[in-house]
Amino acid sequence: MAVTVAAVGEDMAPQPFDSMDSRWVLVQEVVASSLFEKSPRLRAFLLYVAEMELSGRRHEINEQHIGTHVFGRPLDYNPGDDSIVRSQARFLRQRLREYFATTGAGSALTIEIPKGSYVPIFEARDANQPAAPLPEEITPEPAPEPVGLPAKKLPLLWIVALAAAVLVAAGGGAFWIYTSHHEASDRFWATLFSPHRTQLIVPADSTLILIEELTGKEVSFSSYLHQEYLSKSELQQVAPHLESSDLENSHYTSMADLRLVARLYRQPQIDAQHTQIRYARELSLSDAREDDLILIGGSRANPWVTLFSAQMNFSVDYDAALRQNRVSNRAPRAGERASYAENATEANRTVYGLVAYVPSLDRQGHVLMVAGTSSAGTQVAADFLLSGPPLNSFLQRVQRADKSIPPFELLLEGHSLNGNATSSSIVAFRILP
C-alpha cells in the first residue's frame, strides 16, 4: 500500500492506494526516466496529480492546490496573478508526449493531462497504434528593425506578451517549446534561473542611442545612472521641439530583444515568481549588486554591461567614424582578428553575436549577456543559446570535471539575408577565471 506524499491539511487526509497498481508503476517509471531526471518540478507535479487521482481525490486536483502543495505557494495565493501552475503544466504535457514517443514508446499504458484540466488520464495503448510523433520545433520568425513604444500606453511586460503572441501566430498557433533534454545545457539554465535568487531580464534602451545620435555625444555610465543625459538643455540645442519628458516617459527597445525575452520565459527552468523584466533605465545599482542579470545589448544601448567589461575579452563597440557596430577582440589569439565588423552595404552580409556568462557582482550568482552587431547579430546569439544542441555541445566541451559550467565568452558569426539571420558558427571563445 502507498499513501500520498504531498503536504496535507486536516481536510486532505491521505488515502491508501495499491502501490503495485500498473498506473502508479508507470508514473514511477516516467519520473525516473532521463527526460524527467533534471526536472524536479515536473516530477513533483506528475507525482502529486497522479497520487490525488489514484487516491480517489480527483476533486482536489486544481490550480490552487497544485500551486500550494507542489510549488510552495501560500494558501491564499492568487492563481490569476501567478501562472506557475499553468506554465509548468504546458511543459509537463509536452514532456509526457516526448516520453511516450521515445522512451515509453513500448508502454501498454499512456498518461495524458488534457488541456484545461490537471487530472491525469491513463489510457491503454492500442498495440497496433504507433507512438505519437514528437511535436515539431517551430523556428522563431526573423527579427525586424528596432521599434519604439510608449511605456505608459503599453507596459514592457505586455509588449513581451505581444511578442510571444506574434511567435504563436507565425507558427500557426503552435508554440516553440524547448524539447531537448541535454544535460549540460539543462544544468546551465537551472543554475542561471536559481530559485534562491531573483533574475532580472534587462532589454536594451534604444532611447539612449537616439539621444547619442541627436547630441553627437557619448553617454557615460555615470550620466546614465543619474539620468543626466536627459537634461533638457542638451536636447534643446539640437532638437528644440523635443521635450526631455517625451523620452523620459517612453521605453524604446527592439523586437529582437523582446523576442529573446519571450523565448527565455518559455525555458522550462524559469521560475516566473523569481524572474522580472526590468527596463535598463529603471535598474539600480542595488539591483545589479544583489540579483542575477540577463543583459541584452551592447554597452551603447545597455550601459550596465560596462560593470562587467573589465573581465571580458570581447565587446560590441560603436565606431562613430564609420557609424557601425563592431566586435572588439582585446587580445587576439592565432587566427583571430582584432575587430569584427559588418558590411552594412551588403544585403547578404556577415553579422556577429556575443554571449557572455560571468559571475554576478556579489559573486553569489551569475550574469548572462547577449549582444550583437545588429538585430540579426542578437538573433544569432539568441538562436545559439536557445536552440538546444549547439549550446549543449559547447558546454560539454568547456565544463569542469565536476560538470559545473565555468564563466565564458563566446563570439558567433552568422549570415544575414536582408536583416534576417540564417546560420551561425563559433568564431572564438574564452574561459574566464
Cα–Cα distances (Å) from 281 to 70, 150, 258, in that order, read 36, 14, 16
The pLDDT-based confidence of 368 (bands split at 50, 70, 90) is very high
Comparing CA positions, the residue from 210, 216, 203, 358 lying closest to residue 281 is: 203
Mean pLDDT of 406-432: 86
DSSP 294: E
Range scoring the smallest mean pLDDT among 11-20, 168-177, 419-428: 168-177
Q: Residue 285 in contact with residue 210, Cβ under 8 Å?
A: no
Confidence band (pLDDT; 50, 70, 90) for 415?
Answer: confident
Report how far apart, in Å, the C-alpha atoms of 143 and of each of 288, 352, 376, 421 are. 28, 15, 7, 8
Q: pLDDT band at 297, cuts 50/70/90? A: very high
Residue with cell 486544481: 62
Give yes or no for a contact between 416 and 432, defined as CB atoms under 8 angstroms apart: no
Helix (H) / strand (E) element for 318: namely strand 314-319
What percent of the chain is predicted at pLDDT more than 90? 39
Q: Is the pLDDT reported for residue 106 higher than 50? A: yes
Q: Is the pTM of this model over 0.75?
A: no
Question: What is the phi/psi pair of residue 134, to 5°?
Answer: -70, 145
